[in-house]
Amino acid sequence: MTPEARAQKIKVLIFDVDGVLTDGQIFVLPGSDGHGIETKGFSAHDGLGISLARLDGIQIGIVTKRQSQTVALRARDLKLEFVYQGQSHKMDAICDILAKANITLDELAYVGDDIIDLPVMRVCGLAIASANARPQVKAAAHYVTPNPGGHGAGRDAVDFILNARGTLEKTIEAYLAADNAAARAADIGTGGM
Amino acid sequence: MTPEARAQKIKVLIFDVDGVLTDGQIFVLPGSDGHGIETKGFSAHDGLGISLARLDGIQIGIVTKRQSQTVALRARDLKLEFVYQGQSHKMDAICDILAKANITLDELAYVGDDIIDLPVMRVCGLAIASANARPQVKAAAHYVTPNPGGHGAGRDAVDFILNARGTLEKTIEAYLAADNAAARAADIGTGGM
Amino acid sequence: MTPEARAQKIKVLIFDVDGVLTDGQIFVLPGSDGHGIETKGFSAHDGLGISLARLDGIQIGIVTKRQSQTVALRARDLKLEFVYQGQSHKMDAICDILAKANITLDELAYVGDDIIDLPVMRVCGLAIASANARPQVKAAAHYVTPNPGGHGAGRDAVDFILNARGTLEKTIEAYLAADNAAARAADIGTGGM
Amino acid sequence: MTPEARAQKIKVLIFDVDGVLTDGQIFVLPGSDGHGIETKGFSAHDGLGISLARLDGIQIGIVTKRQSQTVALRARDLKLEFVYQGQSHKMDAICDILAKANITLDELAYVGDDIIDLPVMRVCGLAIASANARPQVKAAAHYVTPNPGGHGAGRDAVDFILNARGTLEKTIEAYLAADNAAARAADIGTGGM
C-alpha cells in the first residue's frame, strides 16, 4: 500500500514530543525546590498544522516518555484531544487512544524520531519519521518529513496527510474564510499581483 | 510589476512575529500562577534593520496571532509604530494600520511565513516570505528572503526595499555618520586597508 | 588497530558536556543573588543512547571544566555513574574513574570537542570527536560522529560502540521488549507494512 | 598587506557581542518589575579561545550597543580586560581602549557582524567578520570566520591570529601542560594510537 493510500484512512494523528514537536533539545533550569524546570522549543508551524488537521476532522494527541509542565502548557494551548506524558511503554497509551476514539490501528498515524517509537510505528496505519529521526526510525517509516522536529516536522505530517486526501487546499481556504470575509467587508483596494 | 517597482512605493512595513522575527520556536516556561510564560529569540540584525528603515522614512509594525509579554517587550525595545497582538484575522489590523498611516495597500509591505499571512500577502503592495516559510506562502510572495526568520529575514526585507529605492548605502552611511564624526574628532591614525 | 576493534574493548564511556552533550551554547540568566544561572540544551537522543549503553553493560559518566546546577540536574535525570564538574585537568578525574571502575585506559572511551579534551583523547582506548569539534580535536579522534553536540553526538558514540560489538540491534530489541509484550497482550490488529 | 601580516601585529582583540559571541538571537523574558530580562547563548569554544589568546599575550574585550546583565555575567566569567556596553558609537570605546592599552589602531583586531561595526572595521589593523555577518560587513573584512557567531566565530578569530603568528600549537600545548604533567604523574598505561 502506498503511503498516500495509508494517509487516506487516518482519523487520529499522534505525535511524540521531543525531537518531533521540538528539535530534541531539553533545557533544564534549577527550580526553587531543587528540582529542574524543563523547557523546550515548540514550532509555530506545527500549531497551525494541528488547527488544519482538526478542521479536516482529524483528532490530535501526544504520547511522550518524559513528564514536564512545559509540555502540559503547550498541549493546553493547542487544545489537544489526547495527552499522555510519562509513558515508557507507548503502546499502552495508543491502545487507550484507539478505544477512546473508537478506531483501528489502520486509522492511526504516528510521528516519531527515536527507537522508543518503533513499537507503535511498526503497527500503526501510517508511520512518519521526522527529518532528524535516528536511522532505525527512518527505516521503519512510511514517510520522512522534509523538516526536522521543532521546525515544522509536525506540520509536514499534517500537510502530507491532507494532501493525500486531496483536502489540503480546501482546508487552508476554510481556515482563512473568516479572514477573507473581513477583507472584503473592508472594501479596500489591492496592490494586485 | 517587478518586486523592485513594488518596493519603491512602500511607506509602511509590517512583520508577522513567529517564524519571521523569530525562527518559529516558542519556549514555554511554567509561571508562578500556573500560566505559561513564553519566550522566543529575536534577531539583532532585524533590530538594526528597523532603525535603517525608519531612517529612510518607513514606518514599522507587527501583526501576530499570539499574545505574549516577550513580544510586547521586544516591540517597546524597537519602538515600533504599530503593534497588534492576538490577531486571528490579520486583515482587521492591516485595515486599521492603513487608516492610521493614511496609506493605500500598494504602499504596504508585509513579511509572513505561514498561511495565516496569505490574506494580507495576496492584497498588499509587496509580499515577502521568509526563507523558512511554508511552501504555499513562498508561492504567494513577490520576494523570498535569503535568511530564515530569527536569523535576519526581517533585515533582508529592509535591505531589499531600500536597495530597490536606491537608498540603502546612503542610509547606512547616515546611520553611521555620528560615529564617523566621533572617529574623525579623535584624530587617530588608521590601520589602512 | 581499527576504531571498531578499539570499541569492542570499551567498558566505560565518558562524555565532555559543552559541545558534546550540548551544542556548546551557554545561556546565562541573572540570578536573585547577582550570580548567573546557566542553562543549556541537552539532546533527548543522547538520553536514550545512555540507556542503551547501560543495557549493554557499559558505565557512563561526564567530566567537564564548568560547574553548573543544570548539568547536575541532567546527570541525576540520566542516573550517570560518574559525574565530575569543575575539572580543569580532566586526566585527574579520568584516573579516578579508572580506579573506581577497575579498568585500564584501553577500556575507556571518551567523547570531546575542544583542546582541553586532548590529554584524555591522546591516551584513552577510543577517542571520539563530535561533528562540531575544533579541528585539532577531530585530528586526534579515532571516530568523528555524524551529528553535532546537542543533536545526537552522544547517541552516535553509543551506536558506534554497540555496532562494533555487534550488539546494537539486540540491545534495541531488549530495550523495547517490555513494550512489545504490552502490544501483544493488547492483542490488537496491525496496519501491516 | 596580507591578513596574516596584519594579524602578527595584534596586541588587543575586541569582539562585538550579538551575532559574534552569540548567534544574534536575543531571548526576552518578562522580569518581575515589568522590564525585560535578556538572555543569549555564548559559545564554550570562544571561552577557551579567549584563554588561549591571553596566554599568547593578547588582551581581550567586548564593545556592544546593547546593555544587559547576561553580558556582564559572561564578561566576568571570561575575565575580560575591556567591557563596554551601551555603545552606539563604538569608536568612542575603541579610542578609550587604545589609550588604556597604549596601542595604535594597527595593533587592534575587531570582530563584527553588522554595519554598526563598520567604522571600527574600516580603521583597525585586522577586521574580522563572522560567517553570519551582513554582506556589507563581510565586504569590509580582512578575514571571514568559517563558523557563525555563537558557534565558534570568536575562537576562529583567535585561531587565525595565533596561526598567523605561528604560536597556535605552542600555546595549545602550554595550555595543556599542567594537565599532561598530571597524566604523567599518574603513570598510567595508554591505549596507544
Q: Of D20, D26, D13, D3, which Cα lies nearest the Cα of D113?
A: D20
pLDDT mean across residues, chain A:
92
Q: How crowded is residue D88: how many other Cβ atoms within 10 Å of its Cβ?
A: 12
Q: What percent of chain A has pLDDT over 90?
A: 88
Answer for the pair B140, B129: CB distance below 8 angstroms, yes or no: yes
Residue, of D30 and C163, whose pLDDT is higher: C163
Strand partners, C127: C110
> How far is the CA of A118 from the CAs of A59, A89, C107, C191, in angstroms?
21, 11, 32, 14
Q: Kindly provide the ipTM of the predicted complex, given to two decimals.
A: 0.90
Per-residue pLDDT at B181: 54
Query: What CA–CA distance (Å, rounded) separates C179 from D47?
Result: 44
Q: Which of A29, A98, A114 sits opposite C70 (nearest CB)?
A: A29
Answer for the pair D35, C27: CB distance below 8 angstroms, yes or no: no
Residues of A in contact with C191 (CB under 8 A): 6, 104-106, 108, 123-126
Residue type, D23: D
pLDDT at A186 over 50: no
Q: Of A61, A16, A23, which Cα lies nearest the Cα of A39?
A: A23
Q: Which helix (H) or strand (E) holds C180?
A: helix C168-186
**pLDDT per residue as tens digits for the range B42-74:** 999 999 999 999 999 999 999 999 999 999 999
Query: What CA–CA distance (Å, rounded) separates C108 from C193?
Result: 41
Write out the E strands in chain B.
12-15, 25-30, 36-39, 41-43, 59-63, 82-84, 108-112, 126-129, 143-144
Confidence bin at B186 (pLDDT 50/70/90): very low
Query: What CA–CA distance (Å, rounded) separates B15 from D31?
Result: 25
Per-residue pLDDT at A178: 62
Out of A120-124, A187-191, B173-177, C65-69, least confident range: A187-191
Per-residue pLDDT at A35: 84
Per-residue pLDDT at A190: 34
Closest CA–CA distance from residue D124 to any residue of chain B (Å)? 5
Annotated domain spans of chain D: 3-185
Q: How crowded is residue C191: how many other Cβ atoms within 10 Å of its Cβ?
A: 21
Q: Which helix (H) or strand (E) holds B71?
A: helix B69-77
- Find, in chain C, the residue whose alpha carbon is nearest to that of D155: C134
pLDDT at D183 over 50: no
| Contact (CB<8Å) C116/D172 | no
Query: What CA–CA distance (Å, rounded) separates A129 from C39?
Result: 29
- Find, in chain B, the residue whose alpha carbon is nearest to that of A149: B25
Closest CA–CA distance from residue C70 to any residue of chain A (Å)? 6
**pLDDT per residue as tens digits for the range C70-98:** 999 999 999 999 999 999 999 999 999 99
CA atoms within 13 A on the CB side of D182: 17
Answer for the pair D62, D71: CB distance below 8 angstroms, yes or no: yes
Contact A112/C at CB under 8 A: no
Beta A41-43 vs B25-30: how paired, if at all? antiparallel
Confidence bin at A188 (pLDDT 50/70/90): very low
| Contact (CB<8Å) C183/A30 | no
Q: Of D153, D113, D111, D160, which Cα lies nearest the Cα of D135?
A: D113
Residues of A in contact with C192 (CB under 8 A): 1
Q: Which of B27, B95, B114 sits opposite A40 (nearest CB)?
A: B27
Q: Does domain D3-185 have CATH number 3.30.365.10?
A: no
DSSP string computed for D84-149: E-S-SSHHHHHHHHHHHHT--GGGEEEEE-SGGGHHHHTTSSEEEE-TT--HHHHHT-SEE-SSPT
Closest CA–CA distance from residue C31 to any residue of chain D (Å)? 10
pLDDT at A31 over 90: no
| Contact (CB<8Å) C77/A125 | no
Per-residue pLDDT at D139: 98
Answer for the pair B118, B110: CB distance below 8 angstroms, yes or no: no
Contact C43/A at CB under 8 A: yes
Closest CA–CA distance from residue A54 to any residue of chain C (Å)? 22
| Contact (CB<8Å) B36/A74 | yes
Query: What CA–CA distance (Å, rounded) separates C75 from D4?
Result: 44
| Partner B, chain A 47-106, Cβ-Cβ below 8 Å | 47-48, 69-70, 73-74, 77
Answer for the pair D116, D129: CB distance below 8 angstroms, yes or no: no
Contact partners, residue D89, CB within 8 Å, separation at least 6? B178, B179, B182, D119
Q: What percent of chain A has pLDDT over 70?
A: 92
Confidence bin at A168 (pLDDT 50/70/90): very high
pTM of the model: 0.92
pLDDT at D117 over 70: yes
Query: What CA–CA distance (Å, rounded) separates D39 from C26?
Result: 10
Q: Which helix (H) or strand (E) holds B159?
A: helix B153-165
**pLDDT per residue as tens digits for the range A120-167:** 999 999 999 999 999 999 999 999 999 999 999 999 999 999 999 999
Q: Which helix (H) or strand (E) holds A168?
A: helix A168-186
> Looking at residues B141-147, what average pLDDT do you find?
98
Per-residue pLDDT at C180: 53
pLDDT at B184 over 90: no
Residue type, B83: V
| φ, ψ at A23 (rounded to 5°) | -85, 5
Residue type, B67: Q
CA B29 and chain centroid, separation: 26
> Looking at residues D56-70, what average pLDDT do you find?
97
Angle among Cα D148, D151, D193 to the nearest 5 degrees reads 120
Residue, of B95 and C177, whose pLDDT is higher: B95
